[in-house]
Amino acid sequence: MVRLLSIVILISMITWVFAENPGFVAVIKKPIIDKAKEKYFKSILEVIGRQTIPDFHDGDLRITNIQVWIENDKPEHMNIGFTPVLKEASLSLRDSQLKVQANWKYSKLLVDVTGSVDMKGEFTSFGLDFLMDKTGDKGLYIPQLRINNFNMELDENKFNIKIHCSGCAAPIEATVTALLESVLVAKVKGEIRDQLPRMSQSMGNEILKNMYPKFLDLYENIGIATATTSEIIIEENGFAVPIDGTIYPFNEEFVRSENTEEMPSYDPEDTGEVILQFNPYIVNTLSKTITSKGFSYSGRTLGIGYQITLDPKRGQTKIYFEEDDLHLELYPRIVTKILHCGVQFGADVKLDPQISKGNNKNMMTIFPQIEKLRLKSLKLVIFGIPFDASWLTFWINPILRFSLNWLVIPSIKVPHLDSLPLRVADSFIEFHKDRSEVGITIDL
């Protein structure tokens, strides 16, 4: 679960329509996108704002090693927007400076001179409109981008040009300056119009292909399909990522377990810059995987090592959503590693998980607290041998609940992503029969 949450958090009233209903949906709202833009504005501009223009010649003038920089130090000049009716997202930048450096050679008759040129001028604006696309097959996809439109505004008459030419006569310098003014800005403008959208699409898609996993091994051979079930859905105030969410034995071939229920829309009044909405399908497939393959967890408390096992032979594990609770039916065995002493029981459990704020090391910490525990069977395990202790059920029930909460059940520390050190500032968790919803507010 730790790695899953770490990946997810790398994201208005709507009616979602998916080719395949997802196991969960990550809704990424514009406020967190704007926070990320503020923090990573410089890095974004370094990627999309650096261009290399091919060498060219125009008559007697040859221009080589042409380097272009788009410069802007104000994050508020960048805007990221969403147009659901067109299924488009957009990125635009205004009031920038365009800086050009190049080498040149002028050859005519007996004249053969070389030098360099520096140009700087106003780059009024540019904008990229892009559609959300996907790559993959069999209902398992990786998100991709497709540039749908590019526009730019650049005044060719508002550029200052300075040439460097050692030993050039004044008439030659004037001739070269006039030639550069007439052809270089136009060439740069045309190349930016061609290169910037193509480069943005290519680089963005390559990063997604290389970094976005279709499957993850969460823990001890329990895997999850993190591939999307369709392209990302554009909303009025952000976007929604539909993730398959099937949990399955990681060492076996992936098969989608069953049909998912239709994912209902989330409440637009819910707080949170990131909304994670879980379909009952995700806990159904977790139950099925544990029931078929079992589960084992090792931990340590008060210096004593222990092991928790869920063996299908002792009973079927069931996990499902109830109104206001996460409900579990399970049959664990908890024993010390050395003497193999402990308890074995069957129980109905209601969990009330809580999320704490992040810190310098972790994005957040999840505390899966037991709210209610009702024992259905109880055995004491002594040196690995279980003995019936059902007569102790009434007295042991509150003690066991306390012990599990404070000594056995581990808190889940969700570490920062190396490339995106997020910290949870506030959160909520809601459970309904048809879904679970988690809302998170992020500090960058």
DSSP string, 257-310: -SPPPPPPPPPTT---SEEEEE-HHHHHHHHHHHHHH-EEEEEEETTEEEEEEE
Per-residue pLDDT for the chain (444 aa), expressed as one digit of tens each?
334 334 333 332 333 344 467 888 888 999 889 988 888 888 888 888 888 999 999 989 999 999 999 999 999 999 999 999 888 999 999 999 999 999 999 998 888 899 999 999 999 999 999 999 999 887 789 999 999 999 999 888 888 999 998 778 888 889 999 999 889 989 999 999 999 999 889 988 988 888 888 898 887 778 999 999 888 999 888 899 999 999 999 888 888 766 676 766 666 666 688 888 899 999 999 999 999 999 998 988 888 999 999 999 999 999 999 998 899 999 999 999 999 999 999 999 999 888 888 888 888 888 888 999 999 999 999 999 999 999 999 888 989 999 888 888 878 777 776 656 678 888 889 898 888 988 888 887
Q: In this structure, what DSSP letter does residue 405 have?
A: I
Q: Which residues contact 310 (CB under 8 A, 6 or more apart)?
A: 290, 294, 295, 296, 317, 330, 331, 332, 333
Confirm if 307 and 335 have CB atoms less than 8 A apart. yes
Predicted local confidence at residue 405, as pLDDT: 87
141-193 confidence digits (pLDDT tens) = 999 999 999 999 988 888 899 999 877 888 888 999 999 988 998 999 999 99
Dump pLDDT digits (tens) for 397-426. 989 999 888 888 878 777 776 656 678 888
Nearest 5°: CA angle at 67, between 161 and 163? 25
User: pLDDT at position 309, please?
Assistant: 94
pLDDT of residue 266: 60
What DSSP designation does 417 have?
B
Residue span(s) of the chain under CATH 3.15.20.10 come to: 215-443
pLDDT at 311: 93
What residues form DSSP beta bridges with 224?
A: 216, 247
Report the C-alpha gap between 327 and 305 in whole angstroms: 27
pLDDT digits (tens, 9 = 90+) for 362-410: 888 888 889 999 999 999 999 999 999 999 998 889 899 998 888 888 7
pLDDT of residue 18: 46
- In this predicted structure, what is the pLDDT of residue 45? 87
For residue 92 the two structure tokens come to 């635009």
Q: What are the structure tokens assigned to 300, written together?
A: 């340590």
Q: What is the CATH T-level fold of the domain 34-211, as seen in this structure?
A: Bactericidal permeability-increasing protein; domain 1 (3.15.10)
d(CA 57, CA 104): 9
User: pTM (2 decimals)?
Assistant: 0.80
Domain with CATH 3.15.10.10 in the chain: 34-211
Superfamily of chain region 215-443: Bactericidal permeability-increasing protein; domain 2 (3.15.20.10)
**From the CB of residue 21, how many other CB atoms can be counted at a distance below 10 Å?**
20
Residue 284 pairs in a beta bridge with none
- Quick one: pLDDT at residue 14? 32
